[in-house]
Structures are given as structure tokens and as C-alpha cells.
Chain A
Amino acid sequence: MDILTILIIIPTLTVLALIFAKGQKSYRTISAVGMGIQTVYSIYLLTRYLTERAEAGGETMLFRRTVEWFKPWNINYEIGVDGISVAMIILTAIITLTGVFVSWRVKELPKEFFVSLIVLSTGVFGFFISLDLFTMFLFYELAVIPMYLLIGIWGSGPREYAAMKLTLMLMGASALLLVGILGLYFHSPMVEGHHTFSMMAIAQAPMEHMDQLFFFPFVFVGFAVLGAMFPFHTWSPDGHASAPTAVSMLHAGVLMKMGGYGVFRVALLLMPTAAHEIGWIFMILAGGGILYGAFGALRQTDLKYINAYSSVSHLALVLFALLLMDVVSWSGSVLQMISHGLITALFFALIGMVYERTHTRDVTKMGGLLKIIPFIGMMYVMVGMASLGLPGMSGFAAELAIFVGAFQHSGTLERVLTIMAVLSIVVTAVYILRVVGKMLMGPVTNEAFKQMDKARWYEKTAAIILLACIIGIGVAPGGLYKLINESVTPLIELIQKGAL
């Protein structure tokens, strides 16, 4: 069996096992075991990748394989990974695993919940290994559909509204995306007498200048909606606020990263000329979005809204760095995707735990929780620190790389936007600390809070896994950065060759 296809087969088998299983305990055990295997396997994939990479010489896209699927249109199941995809796959595996732990006690329809969750993650895994635009699009849709069910059925608050809004906006985005992908297809080089969906082939021979200018916005916006770029971000606060904990984690942690990854893989790599020429429009949107999201978060009182806006801000930083189109910014941007994925997943997990105990997410109604639930409280402080870019946590390494990369551009627009981006970290500090100060510190505002349960083992497991990753990356980002950087460098060279 092909090493990458196993990444899809493991979750599929888990889903099958879930379908035939009975009893809540077996559902969660099966899910945890399946995702545990998946995590271990993706780490194994990393080691395999590193050894193969050492042997392969200059090639970074490894384990490539093509299976014919639909000959008349040249659709292939074409897969392969480079360092970026491997990092993303590990991120996805970890977040799904912790998501299963966090939803350990789902009460309603547990089987269906876990099935949807794992189907979603299957889509994400497939997305990250695809090299064929059509296959990629298919997996993307596979990830979006269960999201609707997960929010609509297991959500809270105005869940139908939120689920509908989220799904419609993402579907609208994928309509744009489909236009872009078909545009890419019909302007792609001929392979055996047909056009091709293969990204590798298209990247070698990008389309004409005017065609790029036309199709670039479609693809970019299509993916950027998923990456919550201003002004297409409004699904994110509502969606997150209504989604169940594990779904928020997966969504903010992984799905939104698919947006960034897609922008990078499809929009920028396949249409570099357009990215150079009209990228500045989106750069302004993304750069403005950094501060915009931060200021938006400043005024919220719902924990999930704060975090959703914070994600908008951080993802805008990712898109901004991607649009800068140089090695350091891209590496930093991918690092930021991973870092933010972990941080925001932990954030949502902790918010879920707090919500389960206090039955409110309104910051103004809480106080002094650190005394009552010290583990969760301390974790929240730590992840807050990670989010505001404290050194020693992953966020800092990523932001530093992005800023260093951004500062290599001496154009006025880039300079101004970079300084705005840097300034946003102080706003981030304000909104994070406001929550910490109000919710965790100070006197206990509600007597009922004193009866809260301490953190349970599965909650601790989830939190510790994520925090360990955050701190691990923060203390020693060198290896991960190198993995990403080595994969980014040839891509940048390819683009520059095309641009010249």
C-alpha cells in the first residue's frame, strides 16, 4: 500500500469501525485509537520523509504517485508531500486526536458525532496530500460538508443560523474556487492530448499573463474566505461561537489553515505573475485585517468571539506573509499556520472546558477561576501568552520569522503594513490579558462557581499534548523551520524562474 494513501485509509477504517460499534465507550475508544494510530503514523511519515529527502537530493516533493481516475478529463488521484504538507498532516492528526479527547463526553448521538468528526479529518488529510486540483477540491468539499452537520446538530446558541452562514459562505467560496480551478484546467498544458489538473504540471508552465490576472482573484478569494480574510471573515465568529468544542478546534486549527495552504499551493504557485502584480490589493486587505481583527477582539465579551477575531488577525498575518512572496516570509507563514493551529485549538479546547463548568462564555460574568480550576486556568494563561507571541512558545518563532521576512521588503506599502502587523501584537496583548485578568484573576464573582469540577484526565491529556507541541516548537523551532524552509526554497526558485 502506498504510504500516503494509508493516511486516508486509517480514518476511513475508523469510520467503518464506528459504524459497526455499539455503546458510547466503544465509540470514543475507537476514535481515540484510530486517531492515535493516525498521529503515530504521521510522525512515522515525517521520519520516512526526512530519510527519503536526504537520499532524494534536490527533490522535495516525495512519495508521488498517480492513479488514473477519469481519463476523458485527465482527472487523476495524484498525491505527494513536501515538508509543508508533512507538517500540516502532523498538525491535523494532533488536533483531531485532541479533539476526540475533548469530546470524550458527547451526550447526543455520539456515534454520528465521531463519524462526522473523522470524516471531516479525512477530507483534510486528503486535501493536504493532493497534487491534483480536482482531487484537492473534492477533499475540500468533503471537509466542509460534515462541518455543517457538526455545527447544526451538536452546536449551541443560534446554531442553525451559524451553520447555514458558515456553509453558505464556504460554498460560495468554493464556487469561486471551482471557476478558478476550471480556468487553470482549460489553460493548462496538454498532457496526452488533454488538459491536466496536475499542479506539478501547471506550475512548470503557468498560463498566460492576462489569464492569470483574470483567474487569480477567483482562486485567491475562494481560499481566502476559508482563511477568514477581511471582509469575508464574518462566518468565523458566528460559526465558532455556535460550534461544539472539538469542531471549533478542528475548524480554527485545521480548516482555516487549508485556506492558507490553498492560497499558497494554488493561487500563488500556479499564478505567480498575477500574485506579483495584483497581490498588493489582497496584501492591503490582509495587512489591514491584522489590526482589524485585533481591534475587533478588543471589544468582544464572548470568549469564543474574542478567539475568533484573534484567529482573523493571526490568519491575516499568514496571508499577508504569503503575499510577500519570499522564502523567509513563506517559511514564517507556514510556521505561523502550524503554530496558530495548535494555539487556537488549545484555546478553543480550554474555552469549551470553561463553558462546560460555568455555562457561560461571557467574560464579564466570570472571575477568579484560577483559584477554582487551577489547571485549566494556568493552561489558559499559558496559551494566552503563546497567542500574544511570548518567546519560548511557538507563536513567537513564527511571528519573528514573518517579521524578519517582511522587513526585507523596503517598499513603502510593505513597510507600513509590516509595522502595522508588528503593532498588532500589542493589541493582542491587551485583549488576551483583559480576559486573563477578568476571567481568571480577581475575586470569585459567582458563589456557584466554587463547586466546579477540576479538570478530568482526558481534558488534561488534550491540553498537555497541545501545550507540549506549542512549547516544543517555541523552544526549538529550528528543525521545523528547516523542514519548511527547505521545501519553500525550490518553490520560490521556480516562481522566480517563471517570472524572469
Chain B
Amino acid sequence: MNWSYTIWIPLLPFLSFVINGVLYNRLPKKLSGVIGTSALGVAALLSYLTAGRYFFGTTSAEGYQPILAWQSTWMHITDKLAIDMGVYLDPISIMMLVVVTTISFLVHLYSVGYMSEEEGRNRYFAWLGLFSFSMLGLVLAPNLVQTYMFWELVGVSSFLLIGYYYDKPSAVRAALKAFIVTRFADVFFLIGILLYSYYSGSFKFEDLNNIAAIQAANSSIPVFMGLSALTWGLMLIFVGGAGKSAMFPLHIWLPDAMEGPTPVSALIHAATMVVAGVYLVARLFPAFHGSDDGFALHVVAVVGTFSSLFAAIIAMTQMDIKRVLAFSTMSQIGYMMMGLGVSGYGEEGLGYTASMFHLFTHAAFKALLFLGAGAIIHAVHSNSLKDMGGLRKYMPMTNITFLIACLAISGVPPFAGFFSKDMILEAAYEHNKLIYFTGYITAGLTAFYMFRIYFMAFWGRNRDYDHKPHDPVWSMKIPLIVLAAGSVVLGLLPFNEWVTSDLRPLHIHFDMMMAAASVGIGVIGIITAYLLYRKPSDAPDKISHSLGFVYKTVKNKFYMDELYLGIMREVILKRIAAPVAWFDRHIVDGTMNLIGNTTVGLSKGIKRIQSGDFQVYAFGILIAVIFFVVLFNYFIPTI
């Protein structure tokens, strides 16, 4: 079968980027959105075609085989360490392809309506195109360097899009923060790549994942603190993934990133870019699993679990609807990491499949949540939950879709989230009870905070709005409807047939007790939220008041932002950069200037000798004569 057309899937958004970027001012106002949307529409169709052909056309007894659909030389550093750009198709990349193109297409479509009144829409669509291109390039990468390259490009487009309102200082700060934090993580990613590839001798995923061959090729791999260099490399790579996926403690950029336009949050900070870390771990899953008995994978599991609980706790206290969603995203990505972390390989790879499945369904319902939130914000012109309430009357369509998404994320059957979340918890239960228990609690918290915002926004007290809120225009409605439909039905897909750790279909059994338990805690969360927020009351305030210090700490996100800011300001700028700058100006440059000034001083001293006073000259002559007399008489007597 010929797969080479797949190169057009990333290239189409790139074209959109180039056209919108180069013809920045010359393009008619409406056209930029049309170009972007249609490019992504075609790309989405192509990726559905690819998915269909791949999943239904290439199955064999060996499972699905990866396909290198397209390849081009980029830079041959050495004959072995050659870097090629390519398109690599395997189940997870195709799954991501579908996710990215679909969400991106819907977000483009949504943005046509959402951004209709903005100046500089061309810029917006150009950046969206760049982002889609980079994300697709990242997803389709056949080697780690290409992944890293597009990883960085994704970061930049995220930076540009967060900073879209660049004359707003908070947006600029958020953009810089997002870029610098992820960049900081990426440095470790790069070191990890270099370290790991030093032993593997290649950047290609096949070689990287073949850990037995790497160990065979290197007679002795150094061991540092009880772990082999390979494990260290993988953990460093995971740091990069954690940065992009906003895992604790590198999560601080994600809530601030909500300064960007809401569709951007839906695309980048909910559905696609932030799951890149999960995708990266999944890509290198055999290596993670094989190195040092999967120690790196344990780290992934612990970080994921902790982040998921941590974010869920913070999400309960936030008043900004987008920030709640941001923390929810972080929490759900933690879930995915947890799923990967607890997974085994082959027949025990339930966690892997579950994690990928959750990634897939999460993309749908989280994008829906963000787009719904965008519709609300568009209607009430505020992000704060305090300015909302009783919206179900004004925005019935939004209400229903938002409710579906909330049910999906809370794990209520038969919505999509139920299946994937249940699978993760099942995998965690088999692996480690503590992780399972934490995940279980988080599921309850998730249901609670999601319905908290749902009830606060759509129910709660009725209020008078200056502008009567209303359902959005059609171009914004269609994505909501499509995603709502997806949130309902996607859970029924036979994911265990398609996406598995060893590419062969995985047999799973459905545990009724587990499912009941997780649904139970979800329902408890929903009921709590219903009781507290269904009607306006002062009960939530009382509760938060009684918690006092704890509540305040959580509301301030455990003071992580302040901690980072403190480190940046006090340590990096004041303790390192300022002394370096001082040292440079005063010591190093001072030394150079001292040499110069000494010379000048010396010359001034010598200059004074030539005073023009001939009597002093005469004295000089006499002394010289005497000097030579003495010299020749006593020291060089032979002359």
C-alpha cells in the first residue's frame, strides 16, 4: 500500500501557516479562517483515511506493523547517528493523528466565530497553522530528534498563542513563563536524548526501544546511584515530557497559559500539546519498561499519580473557570501518566492501552469543556465563576453539551470517560493499591469540581446580565455538537484491539465490581456538588472558612508560583546573574582597564621628565656620563 500521501497531513497546516503568515496584511479578513479551516479539514479527512486503511487493512498475526511512510535526509551527523525527517505510522501515531487533526479542525472552525471581532486574526490563524503542523510533525516523528525538534516548535507556537494578546502584560508574562518552564524541562530532555543515544548509537525509535540490543552492544553501561545510564537518560527524557505535560512540579505554567484565547486553550492546553509528554513515554514504552526493571516507569507512575491528586485538590478551590479546567487537565494527564506507569508489557499492558484510550477520550471531552467555557466567556465577557449563574436558560445548547462533557469526565456510564478511566483504575489496582486508592479519590474529586463549575455557571443564582447571553453562532456550535457526540460514543470503540504496547490485540475483561466502585465515587462527588452549588447558599463559604489555613494554601496553589518566582528572582537573578555581571564589569574588565590605565599613568610619569628645563637635562647628561664611567671602569674593565 502506498502511504506517502501522509506527508500532506502535516504539510497542509504548514501551508496555511505560510500563506497566513507571509500574506499577513494583504489577505482579506475572512479568508484567513477559511484557509486554515479548510486545510485542517482536508488533513483530518486524510488522517481518517489513513486510520481506516491502517487499522482495517494491515492487520496480521504479528499485530500492526509500523510503517515508515516517508523519509528525507536532514543531517547525517555521523553514518550511525543520522537524522532523517520522516513520517512514522503506527497505532499510537495514527491515533494521535486523528485526535490532533480533528480537534485542530474543530478549533479552527470554532475560532472563525470566536475570533471574528479580533484584529490580527491572520496572525492567529497563522500561529494555529504552525501549531498544528508542529504537533503533527511531533506525532509522526520516526526518531527522537525529530520529536525534539517539533517538540520545541510546539512550545514556540504555544508561546506565541498564549501571548496572542501581547499588549496585555499578564498574557506576556504567562507566555514567557510557559516557554521558559517548558524550555527548562526540554534541556533535560535534550540531555536525556544525547545520553541515551550515546549508548544506543541511533536516534530511531526502533533502535531506542530495543533495549536488549543496546545492552548487548555496550559491554559496560556506567551505573550512577544504583541506576544505569540508560535509566537516567530515560528519566531525563521524562523530565521533558513532564514539563510539556504540566506534571508536578513543572506544572506552574499551565494555569497561567489560560491567558491565551480560549480555543487555543482547548487545542493546545487540553487536547494535544499537553499530552505530548504522555505520548513520548508511550513512544519509548518498551525502553521505559525494559530498563532497570522499569524503574523509570515507577517514577512516571508516582509523578502522574501525585500530580493528578494535587491538581484535583487545587481545582476545587479555583474561581476562574478556565483555571479549573486547566487544573483538571493536569489531573487527567496525571491519570494518563499513572496508567502508563502501572502498565506491564504485552499481555499485561492494560495500563498502556487504558492510558492511550483515556488520552483519546479526554481530548474529546476536555476540548468540549474548553470550547463550552469559551462560549460562556464569549457570552458573559468574564472568566470568573462569580460573574456566572443561571446560564441554562440563556444558553440551552451550551448547557447540554457542557453537561455531557462533565458526565464524561466524571466517569458516568455510558459516556466515554467512564470506559477509559475505569480501565486505568483497573490496571492500577493490579499494580499497586496505594496508586489505585489515590486515583480512586481523585476520580471522586474530579466529579465534584467539574459539577461545581457546572452548577455554578448554569444553575446557581439567577442574575441580570447587561448583555443577554445567548448560544453562540453556528460555526461555534458545530464543534460543540460534534465533540459532545464524540464524548458520548467514543468509549465504545474497541481500543484494546488497536492500540496496545506490543501492537498485538489485548484481551481485556470487564470487572463489574471495579466499575461499580468508580461510578459510585463519581456519583458521590456529583451529589455533593449538587447539594452545595445547585442553589445559591453560603454553605461552600462556611466550609472553606472552617478549613482556614488549609483552604488558603490550596487556593494559592500551594504557593508553587511564589516559590518559582522566588528562585528566579532571588537565586538566579540576584545570586548568580548579578554577581556575574558585577564580576565581569569590575574584575575582568577592571583588570583590562587597569592594564590600560597603568600604561597611561606610566606614560604621564615619563612625560613629566621631559620638562623643557635644560638644566635638568644637563643633570641627566652628567649622571649618564658618570654611569658609563663607572660601568666601564668597574664593571666592564676589559674595555
The minimal Cβ–Cβ distance linking B97 to chain A, given in whole angstroms, is 20
Cβ–Cβ < 8 Å partners of B176 in chain A: 433-434, 436-437
The reply to whether A404 and B77 contact each other, CB–CB distance below 8 Å, is yes
Verify if B503 is at the interface (C-beta below 8 Å from A): no
Partner of A397, one of B75, B148, B150, B175: B75
The minimal Cβ–Cβ distance linking A231 to chain B, given in whole angstroms, is 5
The reply to whether A234 and B589 contact each other, CB–CB distance below 8 Å, is yes
The reply to whether A396 and B149 contact each other, CB–CB distance below 8 Å, is yes
Q: How far is the CA of A362 from the CA of B166 in the complex (A)?
A: 20
Q: Which residues 470-500 of A have a CB within 8 angstroms of B? A: 476-478, 481-482
Partner of A407, one of B149, B180, B195, B592: B195
The minimal Cβ–Cβ distance linking B433 to chain A, given in whole angstroms, is 39
Verify if B534 is at the interface (C-beta below 8 Å from A): no
Cβ–Cβ < 8 Å partners of B76 in chain A: 478, 481-482
Are A437 and B198 also in contact (CB < 8 A) when A396-B149, A419-B191, A477-B74 are? no
Verify if A46 is at the interface (C-beta below 8 Å from B): no
Q: Among the listed stretches B101-109, B296-304, B571-579, which one makes contact with chain A, having 4 or more residues with CB under 8 Å of it?
A: B571-579
Cβ–Cβ < 8 Å partners of B422 in chain A: none
Cβ–Cβ < 8 Å partners of B356 in chain A: none
The reply to whether B169 and A408 contact each other, CB–CB distance below 8 Å, is no
Are A299 and B577 also in contact (CB < 8 A) when A478-B75, A481-B76 are? yes
Cβ–Cβ < 8 Å partners of B78 in chain A: 327-328
The reply to whether B581 and A328 contact each other, CB–CB distance below 8 Å, is no
The reply to whether A368 and B149 contact each other, CB–CB distance below 8 Å, is no
Q: How far is the CA of A162 from the CA of B323 in the complex (A)?
A: 51
Q: How far is the CA of A231 from the CA of B583 in the complex (A)?
A: 11
Are A371 and B167 also in contact (CB < 8 A) when A429-B179, A433-B180 are? yes
Verify if B19 is at the interface (C-beta below 8 Å from A): no
Verify if A373 is at the interface (C-beta below 8 Å from B): no
The minimal Cβ–Cβ distance linking B199 to chain A, given in whole angstroms, is 10
Q: Among the listed stretches A22-30, A141-149, A245-253, A439-447, which one makes contact with chain B, having 4 or more residues with CB under 8 Å of it?
A: A439-447
The reply to whether A300 and B198 contact each other, CB–CB distance below 8 Å, is no
Cβ–Cβ < 8 Å partners of B378 in chain A: none
Are A443 and B169 also in contact (CB < 8 A) when A234-B592, A429-B180 are? yes
Are A426 and B183 also in contact (CB < 8 A) when A443-B169, A478-B75 are? yes
The reply to whether B169 and A390 contact each other, CB–CB distance below 8 Å, is no
Cβ–Cβ < 8 Å partners of A388 in chain B: 183
| CB-nearest residue of chain A to B146 | A391
Q: How far is the CA of A407 from the CA of B192 in the complex (A)?
A: 11
Verify if B163 is at the interface (C-beta below 8 Å from A): yes
Partner of A437, one of B73, B175, B592: B175
Q: How far is the CA of A235 from the CA of B176 in the complex (A)?
A: 31
Interface string of B582-594 (1 = CB under 8 A from A): 0010001101110
The reply to whether B592 and A165 contact each other, CB–CB distance below 8 Å, is yes
The reply to whether B581 and A442 contact each other, CB–CB distance below 8 Å, is no
Verify if A168 is at the interface (C-beta below 8 Å from B): yes
Partner of B149, one of A292, A371, A392, A408: A392
The reply to whether B77 and A298 contact each other, CB–CB distance below 8 Å, is no
- Name B's interface SS: helix
| CB-nearest residue of chain A to B187 | A426
The reply to whether B167 and A296 contact each other, CB–CB distance below 8 Å, is no
Partner of B592, one of A169, A410, A440: A169
Q: How far is the CA of A436 from the CA of B166 in the complex (A)?
A: 11
Partner of A390, one of B156, B172, B194, B578: B156
Cβ–Cβ < 8 Å partners of A296 in chain B: 577, 580-581, 584
The minimal Cβ–Cβ distance linking A245 to chain B, given in whole angstroms, is 23
Verify if A370 is at the interface (C-beta below 8 Å from B): yes
| CB-nearest residue of chain A to B584 | A296
Partner of B184, one of A238, A426, A436, A443: A426
Verify if A45 is at the interface (C-beta below 8 Å from B): no
Verify if B52 is at the interface (C-beta below 8 Å from A): no
The minimal Cβ–Cβ distance linking B427 to chain A, given in whole angstroms, is 35
Q: How far is the CA of A238 from the CA of B590 in the complex (A)?
A: 13
The reply to whether A234 and B584 contact each other, CB–CB distance below 8 Å, is yes
Are A370 and B153 also in contact (CB < 8 A) when A234-B589, A433-B180, A477-B75 are? no
The reply to whether A429 and B81 contact each other, CB–CB distance below 8 Å, is no
The reply to whether A300 and B180 contact each other, CB–CB distance below 8 Å, is no
| CB-nearest residue of chain A to B179 | A433
The reply to whether B74 and A476 contact each other, CB–CB distance below 8 Å, is yes
Verify if B145 is at the interface (C-beta below 8 Å from A): yes
| CB-nearest residue of chain A to B576 | A295
Cβ–Cβ < 8 Å partners of A370 in chain B: 166
| CB-nearest residue of chain A to B24 | A374
Cβ–Cβ < 8 Å partners of A332 in chain B: 77
The reply to whether A298 and B573 contact each other, CB–CB distance below 8 Å, is yes
The reply to whether A165 and B596 contact each other, CB–CB distance below 8 Å, is yes
Q: Which residues 360-374 of A have a CB within 8 angstroms of B? A: 368, 370-371, 374
Q: How far is the CA of A482 from the CA of B573 in the complex (A)?
A: 41
Verify if B90 is at the interface (C-beta below 8 Å from A): no
Verify if B173 is at the interface (C-beta below 8 Å from A): yes
Verify if A35 is at the interface (C-beta below 8 Å from B): no
Verify if B190 is at the interface (C-beta below 8 Å from A): yes
Cβ–Cβ < 8 Å partners of B156 in chain A: 385, 390
The reply to whether B584 and A442 contact each other, CB–CB distance below 8 Å, is no
The reply to whether B187 and A391 contact each other, CB–CB distance below 8 Å, is no
The minimal Cβ–Cβ distance linking A13 to chain B, given in whole angstroms, is 37
Q: Which residues 210-239 of A have a CB within 8 angstroms of B? A: 230-231, 233-235, 238
Verify if B152 is at the interface (C-beta below 8 Å from A): yes
Q: How far is the CA of A426 from the CA of B176 in the complex (A)?
A: 12
Q: How far is the CA of A279 from the CA of B167 in the complex (A)?
A: 49
Are A403 and B149 also in contact (CB < 8 A) when A234-B588, A426-B183, A442-B169 are? no
The reply to whether A368 and B167 contact each other, CB–CB distance below 8 Å, is yes
The minimal Cβ–Cβ distance linking A29 to chain B, given in whole angstroms, is 29
Cβ–Cβ < 8 Å partners of A9 in chain B: none
The reply to whether A391 and B152 contact each other, CB–CB distance below 8 Å, is yes
The reply to whether B194 and A422 contact each other, CB–CB distance below 8 Å, is yes
Interface string of B545-561 (1 = CB under 8 A from A): 00000000000000000
Verify if A153 is at the interface (C-beta below 8 Å from B): no
Verify if A425 is at the interface (C-beta below 8 Å from B): yes
The reply to whether B573 and A429 contact each other, CB–CB distance below 8 Å, is no
The minimal Cβ–Cβ distance linking B261 to chain A, given in whole angstroms, is 15
Cβ–Cβ < 8 Å partners of B581 in chain A: 295-296, 298-300
Partner of A444, one of B167, B195, B572, B573: B167
Interface string of A416-437 (1 = CB under 8 A from B): 0011001101100110011011
The minimal Cβ–Cβ distance linking A434 to chain B, given in whole angstroms, is 7
The reply to whether B180 and A430 contact each other, CB–CB distance below 8 Å, is yes
Cβ–Cβ < 8 Å partners of B184 in chain A: 426
| CB-nearest residue of chain B to A295 | B580
Cβ–Cβ < 8 Å partners of A234 in chain B: 584, 588-589, 592
Interface string of A200-213 (1 = CB under 8 A from B): 00000000000000
| CB-nearest residue of chain A to B582 | A299
Q: Which residues 388-420 of A have a CB within 8 angstroms of B? A: 388-392, 396-397, 400-401, 403-405, 407-408, 410, 418-419
The minimal Cβ–Cβ distance linking A75 to chain B, given in whole angstroms, is 32
Q: How far is the CA of A88 from the CA of B145 in the complex (A)?
A: 27
Q: Which of B150, B195, B578, B584 has the most CB of A within 10 A?
A: B584
| CB-nearest residue of chain B to A377 | B166
Q: How far is the CA of A134 from the CA of B195 in the complex (A)?
A: 43
Partner of B172, one of A298, A401, A405, A437: A437
Interface string of A434-474 (1 = CB under 8 A from B): 10110011111000000000000000000000000000000
Question: Could you tell me which B residues sit within 8 Å of A by CB distance?
Answer: 24, 73-78, 81, 83, 145, 148-150, 152-153, 156, 159, 163, 166-167, 169, 172-173, 175-176, 179-180, 183-184, 186-187, 190-191, 194-195, 197-198, 572-573, 576-578, 580-581, 584, 588-589, 591-593, 596
**Can you list 23 residue pairs at the A/B interface with Cβ under 8 Å?**
A169-B592, A231-B591, A292-B580, A292-B584, A295-B576, A298-B573, A298-B581, A328-B77, A332-B77, A368-B166, A385-B156, A390-B153, A400-B75, A400-B83, A404-B81, A418-B194, A422-B194, A440-B166, A441-B163, A442-B166, A443-B169, A478-B73, A478-B76
| 3 nearest CB pairs, A to B | A391-B149, A299-B581, A298-B577
